[in-house]
Structure 1
Amino acid sequence: MTQTLIVIGAGMATGRAIEHLREAGADIDITLFNAEPRGNYNRIMLSPVLSGDKAYEDIVTHTPDWYAANNVTCRFGEKVVSIDRAAKTVMAENGDVLAYDKLLFGTGSNPFMIPLPGHDLDGVIAYRDLEDTQRMMGLGPDNKVVVIGGGLLGLEAAAGMAARGVDVTVVHIMSHLMERQLDEAAGYLLRKALIEKGITVLCQANSKDIKGKDGHVTALMLDDGTELPCDLLVMAVGIRPNVKLAQDAGIAVGKGIHVDDQMVTSDADILAVGECVEHDGAIFGLVAPLYDQAKVAAATLRNEHATFVQKELSTKLKVTGCDLFSAGDFADGDGREDIVFRDPARGVYRRLVIENNVVIGAVMYGDTADSSWFFGLIRDKTDICDMRETLIFGPAYQGGTALDPLSAVAALPRDAEICGCNGICKGQIEDAIAAGATDLGAVRAVTKASGSCGTCTGLVEQVLAVTLGDDFVLPAAASICACTDMTHEDVRRMIKSQGLKTMPAVWQECGWKTSCGCHVCRPALNFYLLADWPLEYCDDPQSRFINERKHANIQKDGTFSVVPRMWGGITTPDELRAIADAADKYRVPTVKVTGGQRIDLLGVKGEDLPNIWSDLNKAGMVSGHAYSKGLRTVKTCVGTDHCRFGTQDSTGLGIKLEKALWGSWTPHKLKLGVSGCPRNCAEATCKDIGVICVDSGFQISIGGAAGMDVRETELLIQITTQDEAMDVIKAVTQLYREHAKYLDRIYKWMAKVGLDWITEQIENAETRAALIDRFELSQSIYRKDPWAEHVTQKSQAYQPLADLTLEAAE
């Protein structure tokens, strides 16, 4: 008989419990309530959303489609207001009464708000959910924020806002930051790193009261008389289990809701998991024990026996780019000794606390690659006598000689914990690999290792490399070039968050190893700055590839290919005469019809380029941009004008699209096709953006390719009018410009962000309109015919940057 389960709270623990139930095929009817107007998302990743590293959509763990596919009835934005244990019913805030066989509490915790005078003013918030995050995201360089609390949550809030240019001050009552996780030396290094990033940090500072005006916060007063002006005050001083609903129902509570080893409360039909729980006197804030609780609760609900056991926990954290790790007991005490390693030049600090030849505590800052190994020593109470001299250097230096990192990983035992959040050990990953999970995504899907906070990703990849040998290529963190260790994504985030609007500003603020960039990074930086600051940044011709600087494609013999634009593949006798005359006049050896329905004049001498451009311009023709990282062609068929199968005016739409998009710059070349019917004569389904005309309108698809990679497009949206088609294609082009890595075609970008995310942005009317506005603004500033401009400014010098990669025209 099907049981009815009501779950209160869509948090990470209850979400994992529902996953376990469905994966086991449990015959349970599930209804999920959540006070927030949304489902499960990864709360520990709110800080990357705040800093701009991720979008909210990136941290959603369960989508509406997932709930639907797994038969979960969702009541989001609704609270359960009371529970009748005798009747085994719950009442929703709208008055609905629902019966249950089993009830699962996942009510989480409430942020603690210091009851200072003024704490109820508008602008005094906690940092707990998406709404708090969005409020902080709305601030900019003109705003001041004070964060009370120098723990992990407070520092993540401060770092995220500072990355957006906000003036942030952290107020912490203790003598050093994160005192529960770090010793004084590591806390000092963290404070120094934060100050270097522009965050003001005040330790041993005691808050006295909060000032306001017209009901809104204006300043925090400290007890020494210091006044800290602020537009927003964030309290990040701890959490308290949310037990009120359980307490009102007569369930046993203390600090949290009391549960036994099977996660059952004082009522045999009611279970609880997550931050609302108290087990053997302990409450929980880290994700790893919450996931363990979820697994046990799911087993209990399936009438299977499982036991929740509190484990030794480690904390591996990442605050504003600073790697931190702590585990065990690192307090000073009699009979204890320290081993400390400091490397100030690299910003690395390690401290091990040893008692009776056993490591009982570890603190690491700056380099946490060996943290899993040290944690294993603490957990297993390993005797370290034989490795005492080299212990601090990690597993690579045990046994008398240094091992490479992969050998050190190979030496880890099968029970060595790799993913602390999900409690996944090396052996489980090896078993998943043996069963066919041969890349990071597959391992993550099977085991969930690296799927929560992500800090163990590198270690999981190393286990893959060790296990698969030559069949696995360990992906390196691809920096933008040798000038920096930062990736394309890192650099673009810094450009946006810090308002960097010139190349020298990027080189300075991002710590470039060279003072002026190189031939690899300069084109990428030029594109990112153009895309993000079209009004403020001026295009730098010297930072473009040689083809873009010459406005023609260089050939293997040093001559050039000139391709005039033909709108939608349509030409006229006058244009054809002009092309023929130019070919004769400049002795062009080859005239070819391209795959993009244009005519290519191949073999033009470099010194003849300005003159041939001038002649073609006089005939009304402009550059076809066959050399650019931008729109190349819009290939069309004849459509309803001539074809008996045509359903729409494909030629007319193609011409409109080309005239709207020409001269745009994009991360890579952009090719479009418009086919007048599903017979697809214009090959629209292997273009970056393709349009298939049908009786009811237009099917727009993206992500095709027909070069070294051959890919078919995937359907983005179907609309009914040409105007809508124009808007959608402008919007998706701008979305691609703003989010893709330089030199990624649309299909590569789509693989990273997901078609669903792109579709959501385009289908949202407000987002689509904003994208179109930004696209048209950029076009109004930068669209120009480079041939005409170059002819007008013949004195312009073009000094090529050596070694810039060349690319075929079509």
Structure 2
Amino acid sequence: MTKQNLVIIGAGMASGRVLEHLTDAAPDAFDITLFNAEPRGNYNRIMLSPVLAGDQTYEEIVTHDAAWYAERGIATRFGEHVTRIDRAAKVIHGEHGDVPYDKLILGTGSNPFMIPLPGHDLEGVIAYRDLEDTQAMMTLGAGQKCVVIGGGLLGLEAAAGMAARGVEVTVVHIMGHLMERQLDEAAGYLLKKSLEDKGITIRLQANSSEILGEDGKVTALRLDDGTDLPCDLLVMAVGIRPNVALAQEAGLAVGKGVHVDDQMCTSDADVFAVGECVEHDGAIFGLVAPLYDQAKVLARTLLGEEAAFVQKSLSTKLKVTGCDLFSAGDFGDGEGREDIVFRDPARGVYKRLVIEGNRLVGAVMYGDTADGSWFFGLIRDGTDIEEMRETLIFGPAYQGGDTADPLSAVAALPPEAEICGCNGICKGAIVEAIEAGAGDLGAVRATTKASASCGTCTGLVEQVLQVTLGDAFEMPAAQPVCGCTEHTHEDVRRLIKTMPLKSQEAVWQELGWSTRNGCHVCRPAVNFYLLADWPLEYQDDPQSRFINERKHANIQKDGTFSVVPRMWGGITNPSELRAIADAADKYDVPTVKVTGGQRIDLLGVKGEDLPAIWADLNRAGLVSGHAYSKGLRTVKTCVGTDHCRFGTQDSTGLGIKLEKVLWGSWTPHKLKLAVSGCPRNCAEATCKDIGVVCVDSGYQISIGGAAGMDVKETELLVQVASEAEAIEVVMAVTQLYREGAKYLDRIYKWMGKVGLEWIRARIKDKAERARLVAAFELSQSIYRKDPWAEHVAEQAERYQPLADLTLEAAE
């Protein structure tokens, strides 16, 4: 069968999804040519905001790269405008040549609406629509000013991204509250307050009258009350309009968008349209979920299969600058409607349900959106909620009066409940993928595309994984420390402080331990809690530590050990390198490896050689890198201003200072830091327990990252102006973590329990910060020592072959 020529105009997310469906289902059905006015292929526009904020790079949000198109035999004409569609001859006229077609897809997307204010054509007045707009905003830095017109999702993401870069941002919005299409007034107020806490100025009910400029460049926005808002850049984010110019010139039926039927066919049987450029039954579309539905229908139509696009009720789950938002249905006021409202100001949580008769017709949620999918299902299905009315606001876990565990809400969702709104993926499809072998988030994402677009459903997908696999990622909070006691970790920490208890014996006796000396599970935890809470009164018990901490080296599977000398901030010198090489030769070390933390690991050291190799390394000035400890491991750095042309601060110097301040400190779990010299983030600071990103105006300190079994991005804690204050903040948050976290919880798990705002409030409180720094310094003055140097002589005398590994299993 002869292949048909398929031409697609526009390489956006909707047409990209059509290509995926087509080439997966029938790779040889069409000869495909893809035009795109942008000089690139399909990328995830939803993720431009993290690129703007410096959290991701453009390369990380590319959906289809050159290799992808090449593998599928798609001819790409990127950076080339289509000048005309000749429907009679069935030819596309491009700037660099013509292409015939049998079938044509218009994926021309939309154009940003630019308010025709006087001065709108000045240099520095842009929209926020594509990569070029994002790059223009990325040229601004600390001390410069930007005005954003528009308090919708796009405008707020633009504002937040630039604020994260140190830009002074003012948002001008004509309405009375932010995101009025998605949020009611109360939720809009909470969002405004949160953004203002991040340093963004919000001007509501503000009408723009004129854009001012000098020498052809923007200088300010003038409001109709005469106020001038100075700016180096002005961003308009006030909406989009379907791009119908080509279709209109070609004589296709056009209204607000290109008219299409249920099969995505235009008024020409051989021309189809998909995405933001289309109008279907009077509606146009801006959210990605219906665009992907259209793409699936169009692909099936082109392959001769029956399919029809049906407009669905939509829920909107959004994440604006770390604020979780959800809205669904109609939350407007009306006769016969009632509200159920839940407010928790301390946690910044607001929920409003709108009921008409015995049906839920609308829901707005701010701060806690975990039950959004369940509420949306009730709205969509028209469920009678009379029997659950009294507990409805508390979500599915509380129906029937039970206060179930935190995952019960997800467990209660029916298989048809939508989890990923962008891709229309329901719980049942995710469960099927998990049962077929998709055992982690990445596998589920690759198999089903759930959480692969905007990412706001990632937590929900992870919860479905937890429920389906059964083995929770962490112990329930109410579970006892071990079989020796009925007390939880939280109970034990609280009682140690309040009773007070200052020895292990006191804990066993006063808290009713069933064993005389604890066990291999509880002894390390109790030892840490006592050490952290009573540094002057309690003496560390080495025998209550894991085998690696007792031996000051990492035990390997063959019984040998790994020895890692400390390299401050990843910096070394020829003398240290010679000493390491000499030690490797002298002790027949079989493997010498560079670690991910910018150090050198000597693997395969015999147990009996440990004291001697430590002594040799000590003589060269090297100390233990604590690669085995529940404490500071590394401070990873980039080269910063010393060598890099992009560096904004001395990241290497700060990293060395932080490591020298923090080394030797015991913490609930291992602690990893990084310092990046600019937002390009070469030191990967945004996936560490504590990360510092240097910017022109100072230092952005973020916490709660992880890159192990769980992958977590840090969240901004504070920004400070000086290196000294950055060190002080890191010391304070480390001490706060030491004082409050459950043993073996990384910072992100502790942060998930107490909340980032709780941590931030204590770090910003000057008196509390000073107390935390003083407590940390006191502990360091007592416990910081090089265990290799301390134990060389002792270990040489006492060493005996390793026999008791009872603590290893718990690690």
Q: Does 1:799 align with 2:781?
A: yes
For the residues of structure 1 that align with 2:339 and 2:565, how far apart are their CA atoms? Answer: 71
* Mapping of residues 356-375 of structure 1, within 5 Å: 356-375=357-376
Offset, 1:209: 0.3
Q: Structure 1: which amino acid aligns with 2:688?
A: K
Residue in 1 aligned with 2:496?
none
Q: Deviations over 1:692-721 (max 9, x none)?
A: xxxxxxxxxxxxxxxxxxxxxxxxxxxxxx
For the residues of structure 1 that align with 2:276 and 2:187, how far apart are their CA atoms? Answer: 28
For the residues of structure 2 that align with 1:627 and 1:382, how far apart are their CA atoms? Answer: 57
For the residues of structure 1 that align with 2:710 and 2:200, how far apart are their CA atoms? Answer: 32
Offset, 1:153: 0.6
Q: Does 1:71 align with 2:73?
A: yes
CA contact under 8 A between 2:623 and 2:788: conserved in structure 1? no
For the residues of structure 1 that align with 2:193 and 2:347, how far apart are their CA atoms? Answer: 13
Residue in 1 aligned with 2:559?
none
Offset, 1:624: 8.8
Residue in 2 aligned with 1:40?
42
Q: 1:61 aligns with which of 55, 60, 63?
A: 63
Q: Structure 2: which amino acid aligns with 1:68?
A: A
Offset, 1:799: 2.8
Offset, 1:469: 1.9
Residue in 1 aligned with 2:665?
none
* Mapping of residues 162-561 of structure 1, within 5 Å: 162-470=163-471, 473=473
For the residues of structure 1 that align with 2:459 and 2:366, how far apart are their CA atoms? Answer: 17
Residue in 2 aligned with 1:689?
none
Q: 1:87 aligns with which of 72, 86, 89?
A: 89
Q: Does 1:741 align with 2:688?
A: yes
Q: Structure 2: which amino acid aligns with 1:249?
A: A
Q: Which SS does the other structure have where 1:97 is aligned?
A: strand
TM-score by length of 1: 0.64
For the residues of structure 1 that align with 2:386 and 2:565, how far apart are their CA atoms? Answer: 74
Q: Which SS does the other structure have where 2:32 is aligned?
A: strand
Residue in 2 aligned with 1:490?
none
For the residues of structure 2 that align with 1:267 and 1:555, how far apart are their CA atoms? Answer: 70
For the residues of structure 2 that align with 1:389 and 1:805, how far apart are their CA atoms? Answer: 60
For the residues of structure 2 that align with 1:749 and 1:393, how far apart are their CA atoms? Answer: 33
Q: Deviations over 1:426-455 (max 9, x none)?
A: 111122223322222222112111111111
Aligned CA-pair RMSD:
4.3
Residue in 1 aligned with 2:13?
12
* Mapping of residues 617-766 of structure 1, within 5 Å: 623=622, 735-736=682-683, 741=688
Offset, 1:141: 1.4
For the residues of structure 2 that align with 1:20 and 1:5, how far apart are their CA atoms? Answer: 14
Offset, 1:104: 0.5
Q: Which SS does the other structure have where 1:323 is aligned?
A: strand
For the residues of structure 2 that align with 1:331 and 1:299, how far apart are their CA atoms? Answer: 38
- Residues 1:74 and 1:185: Cα distance change in structure 2 (over 3 Å): same
Name the % identity: 65
Q: Which SS does the other structure have where 1:186 is aligned?
A: helix
Q: Does 1:144 align with 2:165?
A: no
CA contact under 8 A between 1:667 and 1:740: conserved in structure 2? no
Residue in 1 aligned with 2:115?
114
For the residues of structure 1 that align with 2:43 and 2:260, how far apart are their CA atoms? Answer: 25
Q: Which SS does the other structure have where 2:23 is aligned?
A: helix
Offset, 1:57: 1.5
Q: Deviations over 1:13-58 (max 9, x none)?
A: 0000000001102411111111111110111111111112221122
For the residues of structure 2 that align with 1:65 and 1:752, how far apart are their CA atoms? Answer: 29
- Residues 1:625 and 1:474: Cα distance change in structure 2 (over 3 Å): closer
- Residues 1:112 and 1:356: Cα distance change in structure 2 (over 3 Å): same
Q: Deviations over 1:201-233 (max 9, x none)?
A: 010000000000000000000000111000000
For the residues of structure 2 that align with 1:566 and 1:594, how far apart are their CA atoms? Answer: 19
For the residues of structure 1 that align with 2:66 and 2:74, how far apart are their CA atoms? Answer: 9
For the residues of structure 1 that align with 2:786 and 2:780, how far apart are their CA atoms? Answer: 14
For the residues of structure 2 that align with 1:425 and 1:806, how far apart are their CA atoms? Answer: 55
Q: Structure 1: which amino acid aligns with 2:122?
A: L
Q: Which SS does the other structure have where 1:261 is aligned?
A: coil
For the residues of structure 1 that align with 2:475 and 2:456, how far apart are their CA atoms? Answer: 15
Q: Structure 1: which amino acid aligns with 2:781?
A: Q
Q: Structure 1: which amino acid aligns with 2:186?
A: A
CA contact under 8 A between 1:561 and 1:604: conserved in structure 2? no
CA contact under 8 A between 1:562 and 1:604: conserved in structure 2? no
Q: Which SS does the other structure have where 2:115 is aligned?
A: coil
- Residues 1:366 and 1:735: Cα distance change in structure 2 (over 3 Å): closer
Q: Structure 2: which amino acid aligns with 1:191?
A: K
Q: Structure 1: which amino acid aligns with 2:69?
A: Y
Offset, 1:462: 1.8
For the residues of structure 2 that align with 1:352 and 1:266, how far apart are their CA atoms? Answer: 42
CA contact under 8 A between 1:630 and 1:665: conserved in structure 2? no
For the residues of structure 2 that align with 1:631 and 1:200, how far apart are their CA atoms? Answer: 35
TM-score by length of 2: 0.64
For the residues of structure 1 that align with 2:707 and 2:375, how far apart are their CA atoms? Answer: 38
CA contact under 8 A between 1:220 and 1:229: conserved in structure 2? yes
Q: Which SS does the other structure have where 1:228 is aligned?
A: strand
For the residues of structure 2 that align with 1:122 and 1:161, how far apart are their CA atoms? Answer: 18
For the residues of structure 2 that align with 1:458 and 1:62, how far apart are their CA atoms? Answer: 25
CA contact under 8 A between 2:617 and 2:623: conserved in structure 1? no
CA contact under 8 A between 1:553 and 1:561: conserved in structure 2? no
For the residues of structure 2 that align with 1:415 and 1:6, how far apart are their CA atoms? Answer: 36
Offset, 1:77: 0.8
Q: Structure 2: which amino acid aligns with 1:362?
A: A
- Residues 1:120 and 1:804: Cα distance change in structure 2 (over 3 Å): farther
Offset, 1:738: 6.0
Offset, 1:305: 1.0
CA contact under 8 A between 2:564 and 2:626: conserved in structure 1? no
Q: Deviations over 1:178-197 (max 9, x none)?
A: 11111111111111111111
CA contact under 8 A between 1:13 and 1:294: conserved in structure 2? yes
- Residues 1:323 and 1:475: Cα distance change in structure 2 (over 3 Å): farther
For the residues of structure 1 that align with 2:788 and 2:376, how far apart are their CA atoms? Answer: 50
- Residues 1:453 and 1:475: Cα distance change in structure 2 (over 3 Å): farther
Q: Which SS does the other structure have where 2:117 is aligned?
A: coil
Structure 1 gap ranges (5+): 484-518, 521-551, 580-589, 633-660, 669-732, 754-796
Structure 2 gap ranges (5+): 478-488, 491-527, 530-550, 556-562, 567-571, 593-601, 628-632, 637-651, 660-679, 692-705, 712-778, 793-811
- Residues 1:602 and 1:403: Cα distance change in structure 2 (over 3 Å): closer
Offset, 1:465: 2.1
Q: Structure 2: which amino acid aligns with 1:41?
A: Y
For the residues of structure 2 that align with 1:613 and 1:383, how far apart are their CA atoms? Answer: 73
Residue in 1 aligned with 2:128?
127
Q: Which SS does the other structure have where 2:390 is aligned?
A: coil
Q: Higher mean Cα deviation, 421-430 or 374-383?
A: 421-430
Q: Structure 2: which amino acid aligns with 1:455?
A: T
- Residues 1:399 and 1:566: Cα distance change in structure 2 (over 3 Å): same
Offset, 1:752: 10
For the residues of structure 1 that align with 2:623 and 2:316, how far apart are their CA atoms? Answer: 56
- Residues 1:800 and 1:164: Cα distance change in structure 2 (over 3 Å): farther
CA contact under 8 A between 1:7 and 1:105: conserved in structure 2? yes
